[in-house]
């Protein structure tokens, strides 16, 4: 009888010990799996989208025909912004398609941004943020769509001054546009999302394409193709100009309106990098 009791007690002790070892082992495995998961490619870094009207919007500028232009507001409405990792790198000036190994939706619902927000030294406007896999985001596609309130994709509200004449203007531009762009071109590289770090991508708007640049020569490409401000100034009344694209088409010369359309189509960039207009 004593022998049986000893065997039974030994069995109970061994069984409990076995269960405890399994439990501890299981806990150890879970901890290890969590660590592995955190070190996988999808590390949870933040990819931030910004919109930049550059100094032309923040600080004002002089048009190719001598009008000093300052903006109260410069609204653009963005939608369907997607960032891509492509290999080989996407070239917006070729006929190739975006061939992505990874893509992240940054904006999936229309958002209106005021590019003139802040003072003259303000940073580009933060539009959206997304947790994204690490890697080099070297392509981006995005749309300009008409805002429900203004029914325009671009609204420019500002003041133009020349030779003592002042014009308060609002340009309503209902022109939907879709761009595909390659890698950001600028002083610092963007879109490189490394483990433990965050990164930015940028949609850039070159409004000097519309108005030209008074600091450049008349023969400069930026001025040859720009409409300037004078043709719009001639449509003002008592120092006020509130106009939409349809009225511009009706009242501008065919040559000036054609320039304006091309200026708007080439508005979108990534820094100094060009974008492809998707028809």
Note the pTM of the prediction, 2 decimals: 0.83
Same domain, 84 and 206: yes
Could you tell me where the DSSP H helices lie in 39-72? 54-58
Structural domain range at position 246: 45-277
| Domain identity same for 56 and 29 | no
28 with 96, same domain: the answer is no
- Same domain for 79 and 162, yes or no, is yes
120 and 18 inside one domain:
no
Considering only CA atoms, which of 249, 60, 235 is closest in space to residue 156? Answer: 60
**271 shares its domain with 209:** yes
Rounded CA separation 267/259 (Å): 12
What phi, psi does 130 have (nearest 5°)?
-145, 140
What local confidence, expressed as pLDDT, does residue 238 receive?
97
Question: Does one domain contain both 22 and 95?
Answer: no
- Assess whether 50 and 157 both reside in one domain: yes
β-bridge partners, 74: 156
DSSP 208: H
How far, rounded to the nearest angstrom, does the alpha carbon of residue 252 sit from its chain's CA centroid?
31
Residue 110 CA: distances (Å) to CA of 49, 149, 278: 14, 12, 18
Tell me the helix, strand and coil percentages in the chain, rounded to 5.
25, 40, 35
Tell me, what's the pLDDT at 176? 95
Give the pLDDT score at 44: 67
* Number of structural domains the chain divides into: 2
Do 79 and 140 sit in the same domain of this protein? Answer: yes
Radius of gyration of the chain (CA): 29
pLDDT in tens, the chain (279 residues): 333 333 333 334 343 343 333 333 333 333 222 222 233 445 569 999 999 999 999 999 999 999 999 999 999 999 999 999 999 999 999 999 999 999 999 999 999 999 999 999 999 999 999 999 999 999 999 999 999 989 999 999 999 999 999 999 999 999 999 999 999 999 999 999 999 999 999 999 999 999 999 999 999 999 999 999 999 999 999 999 999 999 999 999 999 999 999 999 999 999 999 999 997
Residue 83 has a pLDDT of 98
- Beta strands 45-52; 199-205: pairing state: parallel
Q: Do 32 and 75 belong together in one domain?
A: no
One domain for residues 27 and 87 = no
């Amino acid at each position: 009888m004593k022998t049986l009791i000893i065997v039974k007690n030994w069995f109970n002790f061994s069984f409990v010990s076995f269960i405890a070892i399994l439990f501890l082992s299981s806990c150890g495995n879970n901890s290890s799996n969590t660590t592995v998961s955190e070190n996988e490619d999808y590390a949870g870094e933040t990819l931030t989208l910004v919109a930049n009207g550059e100094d032309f919007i923040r600080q004002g500028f002089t048009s190719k025909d001598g009008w000093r232009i300052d903006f109260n507001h410069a609204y653009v409405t963005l939608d369907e912004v997607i960032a891509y990792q492509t290999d080989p790198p996407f070239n917006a000036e070729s006929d190739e398609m975006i061939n992505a190994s990874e893509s992240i939706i940054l904006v999936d619902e229309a958002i209106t941004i005021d590019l003139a927000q802040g003072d003259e030294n303000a940073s580009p406007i933060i539009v959206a943020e997304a947790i994204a896999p690490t890697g080099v985001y070297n392509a981006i596609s995005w749309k300009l769509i008409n805002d429900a309130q203004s029914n325009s994709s671009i609204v420019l509200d500002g003041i133009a001054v020349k030779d003592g004449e002042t014009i308060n203007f609002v340009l309503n531009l209902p022109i939907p546009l879709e761009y595909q762009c390659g890698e950001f071109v600028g002083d610092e590289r963007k879109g490189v999302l490394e483990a433990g770090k965050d990164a930015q991508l940028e949609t850039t708007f070159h409004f000097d394409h519309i108005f030209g640049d008074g600091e450049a020569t008349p023969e400069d490409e930026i001025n040859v193709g720009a409409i300037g401000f004078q043709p719009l100034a001639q449509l003002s009344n008592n120092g006020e100009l509130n106009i939409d694209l349809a009225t511009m088409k009706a009242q501008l010369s065919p040559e000036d309106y054609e320039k304006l359309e091309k200026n708007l189509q080439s508005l979108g960039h990534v820094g100094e990098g060009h974008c492809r207009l998707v028809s």
